[in-house]
Amino acid sequence: MMRETGMKLDLSRAWSDAMAILGSQRDLLIAIAGVFLLMPTLVMNILRPMDIAQGLPPVEALELWIDSNWPYLVLSALIAALGRLAVLILLLAPERPTVAEALSAGLRLLPIFVIANILVGLMLFAGTLLLILPGLYLAGRTLLAEVTLVAERLSNPVAAITRSLSVTRGNGWRIFAMAAIIYVAGFVVTGLANAIVAVIQLVAGAGDVTSFLGALVSALFGAGVTLVLLLVTIAIYRQLAPQG
């Protein structure tokens, strides 16, 4: 069984620090999240909705939808990655860049950022194949790769992952648990909101307004979870690597 040693993460403090960041930069963060995290997903939900054909298993329907929409999915993912980069640069760069400067710097860093995420994804996939638990553990250990890449101005995606593994030593399961709680909470709230939309659709009938409302709910909560988790990773990094 994997054993950990190192400074223990204070989850309550990490959450409080993340909410403090959100409170101090609320307007700016909401604006960036709205443009780069919410809008691409909203457009996808409206223009390229997933239709589950009758008689087609959900997994096959998902595969068919991905095959038909992968260029849009890649573009949406790149836009979201640029948004996350802009947030990280704005909050972590000591020179206090403007939004335009953060976006420009983010564009230059985007290829390395994407490669780092692909490598993390491959690591998690390989770990998941080994009875699931190693993948979950690695999810906690590699969660700070994006933050370390920006905060420590690393130019090598492997170095960012290695640094994340170093910073999170002793806290892999704690970090995974915190991230999982955020994801599950977001999933539950999104499900409740979608249930309310479904009731409205039953009462008012299906239409453009209710369809848009359903797409907006999914995109809104997805963007919210992404932003909160990003701020939490910054708070965790600052706690575990204050000199980083």
What is residue 44's predicted lDDT score, i.e. its pLDDT?
A: 87
Q: Give the rounded percent of residues in the chain with a pLDDT score beyond 70.
A: 91
Place of tokens 């009875």: 131
pLDDT for 139-168, tens place per residue?
999 999 999 999 999 999 999 999 999 999
Percent of the chain scored above 90 by pLDDT? 66
Q: What is the pLDDT of residue 242?
A: 67
If one compares 9 and 64, the residue with the highest pLDDT of the two is: 9
- CA–chain centroid gap for 228, Å, is 8
Cα distances (Å, whole numbers) of residue 3 to 100, 169, 220, 228: 44, 10, 38, 28
Question: Domain map of the chain by residue range?
Answer: 26-240
Q: Tell me the C-alpha distance between 206 and 173, whole Å.
A: 44
1 pLDDT band, cuts 50/70/90, is: very low
**What letter would DSSP give residue 242?**
T
Residues 176-226: tens digit of each pLDDT:
999 999 999 999 998 888 888 778 777 766 666 777 888 888 899 999 999
pLDDT average, residue stretch 110-130: 93
Q: Is the pLDDT of residue 54 over 90?
A: no
* Residue of higher predicted confidence among 22 and 210: 22
Lookup: tokens for 127: 């770990």
Q: What is the DSSP letter of 132?
A: S
d(CA 116, CA 145): 7
Based on its alpha-carbon atoms, the radius of gyration of the chain, rounded to whole angstroms, reads: 19
| 193 contacts: CB under 8 Å, gap ≥ 6 | 217, 221
pTM summary value = 0.90
